Amino acid sequence: MGPMLDIKNLHVTVGEKEILKGLDLALPAGEVHAIMGPNGSGKSTLSYVIAGREGYEITKGQILFRGEDLAPMQPEERAAKGVFLAFQYPVEIPGVTNTTFLKEALNAIRRSRGESELDAMQFVKLLRRQTKELGIPDDMLKRSVNAGFSGGEKKRNEILQMAVLQPLLAVLDETDSGLDIDALKIVAAGVNRLRSPERSTLVITHYQRLLSYIEPDRVHVLAHGRIQRSGGKELAAELERTGYAEFKAVAAE
């Protein structure tokens, strides 16, 4: 079997503008890869196009998830197959409680897999286990999804959703942004707990900081819509020292 996520010569336009220009990436099962790059390099576009956001058009190439082309699938189908995106800016949904949201999501995914739905009791039990490990207070479950949450609470809530839905592929889009060191450790621990031979994680970040806690198997540098360089985890440390100047220069050529 091929890689969990296999992106081949991916071209993506948003509006009229081409953002990804022939991106190649292979993420095997069981591995954690980091995508690093300067602002505006196409990192968030990559995360949205994997999750299936409207307005991100694949003009060339493909994204294969466990051998299946993601392009024709609705966002909910992708989620059901095991794709999860931790948003850079989690969305506030006033009037829908966190518990309802998580239960609807989990049961929708279970239904789509032909599994039975969890009843309220079973669900609460499962949820309690996860919130305890992530240090999430019960009060956060009763509140509306992300409404009035602090930056750190929002990111922790993303990790809670990930822990409940147990995806095969988790894409973390700048999950470290806006987090203090304690929150960062909690988030990283949540991600590390999900590491297993059958799961993969794509960590998208601007800074090396998060990668000290979530150790990647490979690091890729994304600039100008393509992977410019790939290497081991030491590449992250190198980028931290040298910055992205080298890759910005590529564009000027």
Residues found near other proteins in the complex (CB under 8 A): 51-54, 74-80, 84-85, 87, 90-91, 93-96, 100-101, 104-106, 108-109, 111-112, 114, 144, 161, 165
Q: How far is the CB of 236 from other proteins (least distance, A)?
A: 27
Smaller CB separation from other proteins, 21 or 110: 110
Contacts of 98 (CB under 8 A, 6+ apart): 140, 141, 142, 143, 144, 145, 157
Q: Indicate the residue type of 156.
A: R
Smaller CB separation from other proteins, 91 or 121: 91
Q: How far is the CB of 166 from other proteins (least distance, A)?
A: 11
Q: How far is the CB of 86 from other proteins (least distance, A)?
A: 10
Q: Nearest CA to 123 among 106, 110, 139, 135? A: 106
Q: How far is the CB of 230 from other proteins (least distance, A)?
A: 27
In 194-206, which positions are buried (b, 16+ CB within 10 angstroms) versus exposed (e)?
beeeebbbbbbbb
Smaller CB separation from other proteins, 144 or 230: 144
**Do the Cβ atoms of 50 and 43 come closer than 8 Å?**
no
Ramachandran angles phi, psi of 172, nearest 5° = -105, 110
Smaller CB separation from other proteins, 175 or 208: 175
